[in-house]
Each structure stands twice: as structure tokens, then as C-alpha cells.
Amino acid sequence: MKLRYLRNVATLRLSAERCIGCGRCTEVCPHRVFDVSEKRARIVDRDGCMECGACAKNCPANAITVSAGVGCAAALIKGWLSGSKPSCDCSCDEGCC
Amino acid sequence: MSNEKPCCCSAGGCCSTEPTESAELITPYDKDDRWVTGEIQTPRGSVPVVSTKLGFTDVLGAWKVRWGIGRMSYRINPGLYAIGKPDHASPVLVSANYKLTFDALRKELSGLDCWVLILDTKGINVWCAAGKGTFGTDELVYRISRTGLSEVVSHRRLVLPQLGAPGVRAHEVTKQTGFSVIYGPVRAKDIKAFLASGCRATEEMRTVKFTAWNRLVLTPVEFVAAAKTSMAVFGVMFLLNLFAARPFGLADFIAYTGAVVTGTVIAPLLLPVIPGRAFAWKGWLLGLLWTLGFAWYSGWFASGPLPLAIGYLFALPSLSAYLAMNFTGSSTYTSLSGVIKETRTAVPLIALSSIVGIVLVLIASLRA
């Protein structure tokens, strides 16, 4: 069974005018959100997007925007409580030294 | 995503793992490390050769970090390593200095001759480090120059794990170093097939999965963290027992622990089959089933202990909901926007329900 998260929330946007059809986005996307045909990329599964930001970062034409971040509730709540930006460093809880 | 205060692992800290490299040895290593089998000479200096077999200490080490023991110090020195007998034409694979990651990679490379360039990700796996930016453009550019990679190999190609892409701007790396970046498969087990096919990844190789096994190995860390916090809850129960009319006993302990296990282990395991999409909802649903079942089994629906049962029905499912919601951070498919939406709805409900539940349980226990 395929795991799917909430619908209609992803901030991923693709500018068709800027796209040069290089296909880098299809190479890096871990959830097969893009498809390239006739030298143009298009978003085929926006709800599959987890906003990791790999596509936007690697797009040489700057055709993709997404407000990237880590989808972690614990980090968000910690950020709200401490008034800081959410940061996923739960790995440091036990003190690394 | 941003990690401006990298805990206490800053340069010069006690866990800094970058001693000055001697001219002959490109990557310093501990002579006691069993996984280093020798050294290979390059025009730039010698490079440690690494075994593709995992030994007992590697397996034990993996087991320990899965339970959250010494997770942040399970790392190797960044730098260049050799697999087999690589030469100037051999491929260069890039990875992270979390030893669990390094082991997962090298055990898939048997029979290959290649170089492995290890970035300093502060002991964090590739995907998480890419999200934080430590598996990133700057570190990659720095590591290429620091190891003198352009003198070790004659080609100008790097194979990065696909999941490193959120941190690396491939065209920027090429601009700064002359090395082109090819993103390899998501999973290390596909690397041989990927290299053999001339660096072509299938759709399957490019897709992240989250199998029952993937989820299961993540649950011990979740459970251990929740268990630590639970000690405080047990402490409060113990103190309350000093003047409770109905002292907390084994049944209460089981009811509570069951809710914790439901949220940290069962909900993650059953993730795809629980109806709905929000993690908190999934956890709440299972927590409700557990609490209903256990309260019925314990006879708490009789008129006497009924307030207690109602109290637990408010408190325990919301506890499971909260713990399951925290698993969003371990999952491989939740977006930040989605998690913001989920937490904004779930946290107030969880808080309210918990307060009502705790008050009812206290009343039921103290007044009986």
C-alpha cells in the first residue's frame, strides 16, 4: 500500500517558461513528482512532494521554487516552544560529547 | 532544516575528528580499526583500503545506535577511502561520515574497484545531513580540494547518493571544481547495477520507499526516548499513591505503557493500513482501540471505576496521537507544509484532551 500524506499542501511550483528540459529534477526527486516530455518538465504528482528541496536546489534554470524544510512535528513543536526556528537536531539529545 | 547551533560538536570540541593530515596519508585512520585492510598508494599520498565485509563490531555498533546508544559519536574520519584496487580511472562515490551509513555503503561494494569520498556530516546520515546542509556544496568542494582528488583520479565525475541532492547544487560544484555530479540510486544495494549500466538508474532505484522493515528499525529510538520521559510519569504516579484512595497499580502501568507502545511502535508499523493520512489521527485511532480494549478487559466500564475509564479514554489515545505524530520526522514522505497543517490542528486537541483526561483520572484516584 502506498503511503500518502496530506493533500493540497505542497508549496512546489514550476515555471514552464524557464524550464530548459534538462531532467535534473526527475533525477533527484525521491517521489517521482516530475515528468519530462518534449523538452519540458511538468509536475505530475504535487501531493507526492515532501518539500525536500532537491529539485529547486539542482535546477540550473531556477525554474522550480519550493519552501523546503524537514517535515518533523517534534522539531516544529520545539521551535514553537523555544521561539526559534524549527531545527531537526533531535539526534543531539543525548549530548554528543 | 537550518542548524545554526551544531550542538557541541564544533571545531576544536572534544569530538572533532580531523587531526592534521600527514603528507603521505590522505585520510587519517585508527590502526585498530578492523575495517581498514591496508593502504593504497596514489600520486597524492596513501589512502586506506576498506573491507566490504562487516565484522562483529560493525554489526554490534549498528545495533547499539538503533537503540540510541552513542549515536552521535558513531562516525569515521572524513576523507578519501579505497575499495578494492582503484586507479586513476575508477569511479568516485561520495557519502557521509556516519559509520552506519558508511557500513551500509561498503558492504554493497564487494568486487568493485572504486574510491569513496567521505564528507564531514558530523556523524549524520546522507539525507538528514543534506537537509541540514552539512552534506552540501561547500563541504563537497572543500573535501575535493583537501583530499587532492583531482590528482588521484584523471576523470572528473562524482557519483553522489540521490538523497544528497537536497544539500548539493550540482551545477555549482561543477563550476567550482570541474567535477560533474551524477546522482546515483537512493539505496546502496543498487550501486553495482547502476555502475554496470553506465550510470543509468531505473525509476525504481530513484524512488524512496518506507517498507515495514524500514519503519521497524526506526522504532527503538522512538520507544527509548518515550520511555525516558515516562519515568517522570511513573514518579508522579508513585508520589500520588502516597495519598490516593485508589492507588495506581499494574493495570494502570499496562494501560499507559500500551499507549506508549501503540504510538511509538505499532502505529509506525501499521502506518499504511491505518485509515486516514495525518499521523496524529492514525495514532489516536489505534490508541483509542487499545484503551477501549484494555479498559473493557480490566472491567473499568463498571459503574465504580467508570470515571477512571473515561479519564483514560481522554488521556491515553491523545498520548498515542502525540507520539505517532512525532514519527513524521522519521518518515520519508511528509512535507513541512503538511506537518505544519497537521500540528496546528492536532496539538491543541491533544493538549485539551490530555488535560481533561488527567483531571478525570486524578479525581477518580484521589476520591475513589
Which residues on chain A are in Cβ contact (under 8 Å) with B128? 70, 88, 91
The answer to whether residue A71 sits within a structural domain is: yes
* Residue A1 · residue B272 · CB < 8 Å: yes
Instruction: Flag whether residue B338 sits within 8 Å of chain A, measured between CB atoms.
Output: yes
Residues 6+ apart with CB under 8 A from B85: B40, B113
Q: Name beta bridge partners: A65.
A: A13
Pair (B239, B324) in one structural domain: yes
Distance from the Cα of B131 to chain A's closest Cα (Å) equals 7
Question: Three cell numbers at B105?
Answer: 555503503
pLDDT at position A1 is 57
Instruction: Flag whether residue A30 sits within 8 Å of chain B, measured between CB atoms.
Output: yes
CATH of the domain at B199: 3.40.50.11600
The answer to whether residue A6 sits within a structural domain is: no
The answer to whether residue A2 sits within a structural domain is: no
Could you give the CA distance from residue B173 to residue B160 in angstroms, rounded to a whole number? 12
pLDDT, tens digit, for every residue of B259-302? 999 999 999 999 999 999 999 999 999 999 999 999 999 999 99
The answer to whether residue A63 sits within a structural domain is: yes
Give one DSSP letter per residue of B355-368, joined into a string. HHHHHHHHHHHHH-
Q: For chain B, how many structural domains are there in total?
A: 2
SS (H, E, C) chain B: CCCCCCCCCCCCCCCCCCCCCCCCECCCCCCCCCCEEEEEEECCEEEEEECCCCCHHHHHHHHHHHCCCCHHHCECCCEEEEECCCCCCCCEEEEECEHHHHHHHHCCCCCCCEEEEEECCCCCCHHHHHHHCCCCHHHHHHHHHHHCHHHHCCCCEEEECHHHCCCCCHHHHHHHHCCEEEECCCCHHHHHHHHHCCCCCCHHHHCCCCCHHHHHHHHHHHHHHHHHHHHHHHHHHHHHCCCCCCCCCHHHHHHHHHHHHHHHHHHHHHCCCCCCCCHHHHHHHHHHHHHHHHHHHCCCCCCCCHHHHHHHHHHHHHHHHHHHHHHHHCCCCCCHHHHHHHHHHHHHHHHHHHHHHHHHHHHHHHHC
Pair (B353, B222) in one structural domain: yes
The answer to whether residue A96 sits within a structural domain is: no
Which band of pLDDT confidence, cut at 50, 70 and 90, is reported for residue A90? Answer: low
Which of B:197-216 have CB within 8 Å of A?
Answer: 201, 203, 206-208, 210
Strands B180-183 and B157-160: parallel
Distance from the Cα of A36 to chain B's closest Cα (Å) equals 13
Pair (B157, B305) in one structural domain: no
B332 three-state secondary structure: coil
Q: For chain A, how many structural domains are there in total?
A: 1
The answer to whether residue B189 sits within a structural domain is: yes
Pair (B184, B321) in one structural domain: no
* Residue A58 · residue B165 · CB < 8 Å: yes
Whether residues B168 and A58 touch (CB distance < 8 A) is answered with: yes
Q: Which of A69-73, B80-84, B198-202 has the lowest mean pLDDT?
A: A69-73
Q: Which residue of B has its CA nearest to A4?
A: B277
The answer to whether residue B6 sits within a structural domain is: no
Could you give the CA distance from residue B284 to residue B307 in angstroms, rounded to a whole number? 20
Pair (B268, B218) in one structural domain: yes
Pair (B243, B300) in one structural domain: yes
Percent of chain B residues topping a pLDDT of 70:
93
The answer to whether residue B283 sits within a structural domain is: yes
Instruction: Flag whether residue B169 sits within 8 Å of chain A, measured between CB atoms.
Output: yes
The answer to whether residue A94 sits within a structural domain is: no
Query: Does B2 score more than 90 pLDDT?
Result: no
Which of B:25-64 have CB within 8 Å of A?
Answer: none
Domain that holds residue B69: 36-206
Whether residues B166 and A54 touch (CB distance < 8 A) is answered with: yes
The answer to whether residue A55 sits within a structural domain is: yes
CATH of the domain at A53: 3.30.70.20
Stated as kind and residue range, the H or E segment containing B53 is none
Strands A34-37 and B180-183: unpaired
The answer to whether residue B301 sits within a structural domain is: yes
Distance from the Cα of B261 to chain A's closest Cα (Å) equals 18
Distance from the Cα of A84 to chain B's closest Cα (Å) equals 11
B7 three-state secondary structure: coil
State the best of A7, A25, A90, A91 to mutate against chain B, taking most chain B CBs within 10 Å: A91
Pair (B189, B136) in one structural domain: yes
Pair (B216, B202) in one structural domain: no
Instruction: Flag whether residue A29 sits within 8 Å of chain B, measured between CB atoms.
Output: yes
Question: CA-based diameter of chain A, in Å?
Answer: 54
In this complex, the residue of B5, B271, B343 whose CB is nearest that of residue A73 is: B343
Domain that holds residue A49: 13-87
The answer to whether residue B152 sits within a structural domain is: yes
Q: How many CA atoms lie within 13 A of B275 on its CB side?
A: 1
Which band of pLDDT confidence, cut at 50, 70 and 90, is reported for residue B339? Answer: very high
pLDDT, tens digit, for every residue of B78-87? 999 999 999 9
The answer to whether residue B11 sits within a structural domain is: no
Whether residues B333 and A50 touch (CB distance < 8 A) is answered with: yes
Terminal-to-terminal C-alpha distance of chain B: 49
Which residues on chain A are in Cβ contact (under 8 Å) with B163? 30
The answer to whether residue B15 sits within a structural domain is: no
Work out the average pLDDT over B118-134. 95
Q: Which of B46-50, B244-248, B342-346 has the lowest mean pLDDT?
A: B244-248
Q: Kindly give the residue spans of alpha helices, DSSP state H, lying in B34-163.
A: 56-66, 99-106, 126-132, 137-147, 149-152
The answer to whether residue B5 sits within a structural domain is: no
Whether residues B165 and A57 touch (CB distance < 8 A) is answered with: yes
Which residues on chain B are in Cβ contact (under 8 Å) with A11? 337
